Chain A
Amino acid sequence: MSLTAVVWATTGVLFGFGLAIVVLRRQLLAMLLGLELMLAAVNVSLVHHAGLFSDEQALAVVALVMAVAAAEAVVGLSLILRLRRTGLGADSAALTELRG
């Protein structure tokens, strides 16, 4: 079994688990963790791509994705804390204000 096959399998499994967490769990924090998992899964395949083709641009994209993921986590967590302060809780089912 080659390293490429292992990396692709790991990426697929991790991305699938992340998607399942976002879709199946109702807590906002858990959904945020699922998003982080999906981003990490994509990064694994990008790093492997960079190694295969000596592509520095793929590494640059990974670094940018990591920074964006960190910023997204900060914004998401502050939103969740703010929701908690307003008494709406951290359950996505409770957020119905924008429902048409």
Chain B
Amino acid sequence: MIVWAAIFAGIVAAFFAGVMLFHRSLYVSAVSLLAVLLQTGVLFFLCGSPLLAFLQIMIYAGAVMVLVVVTIMAAGSEGERFADFVFPRPLAWLGLAAAVIEIALILARGSAPAPAMAGNSAFQANLGVVLFKPYALATEAVTLLMFLAALAIAPEQEAS
């Protein structure tokens, strides 16, 4: 069942990636990317990394995609109104149905072996150890990069 859930998540992700490529509306592309990222979160979970699946959903669905959608709305052409940003209803239903089917497949896995590390809390805890011991410099560098990225959106000061 785990493999079937992974196949299903992969097909749905590929479908929404195709929508991103072929649909003309940037808004639809952005929401389709959100669907793809949610499916990759499901794949993370199926590969045995629930912590990174949660982070993927939290960072992308909760932060980055909000930024992207707001930017698309702010940078839209003059004639566009808020009501013009609509997502095709069949695609929305497809995404919802995919979520329900995947949950059903994961719950119905029965006696099949669980993914390699699922539930292995020691392995997940080692992630923190690795991040703050051998990769401490890289973690600090990424933190600094995120701080500088936050400065990038600060308003430009007038030259005196």
A residues engaging B (CB < 8 A)?
Answer: 1-3, 6-7, 9-10, 13-14, 17-18, 20-21, 24-25, 27, 29-30, 32-34, 36-37, 40-41, 43-44, 47-48, 50-52, 54, 56-57, 59-60, 62-64, 66-75, 77-82, 84, 90
Q: Contact check: which of A3, A9, A68 meets B47 at CB < 8 Å?
A: A3
Name B130's contact: one of A44, A60, A80 (CB within 8 Å): A60
A29 & B68 in contact (Cβ 8 Å cutoff): yes
* Known A-B contacts A33-B68, A51-B117, A59-B49; A7 and B75 likewise in contact (beta carbons under 8 Å): no
Closest 6 CB pairs of A and B: A10-B10, A17-B17, A71-B149, A74-B149, A51-B48, A56-B126
> Which A residues lie within 8 Å of B49 (CB)?
47, 50-51, 59, 62
Chain B interface: which size bin? 35 or more
B64 touches A7 (CB 8 A): no
With contacts defined as CB atoms under 8 Å apart, how many contacts are there between chain A and chain B in the complex?
Answer: 183
How many Å lie between the Cα of A27 and that of B25 in the bound state?
A: 11
* Distance between Cα atoms of A51 and B124 in the complex (Å): 11
Cross-chain contact B123 with A21 (CB below 8 angstroms): no
Chain A positions within 8 Å of B17 at CB level:
13-14, 17-18, 37
Given contact pairs A7-B10, A50-B117, enumerate 13 new A-B contacts (beta carbons under 8 Å). Answer: A1-B3, A6-B7, A10-B10, A13-B13, A13-B17, A21-B20, A29-B30, A37-B20, A40-B37, A43-B40, A44-B40, A48-B47, A51-B47
Taking A47-B43, A74-B67, A77-B67 as contacts, is the C-beta distance between A64 and B20 under 8 angstroms? Answer: no
Q: Which residues of B contact A51 (CB under 8 A)?
A: 47-49, 115-117
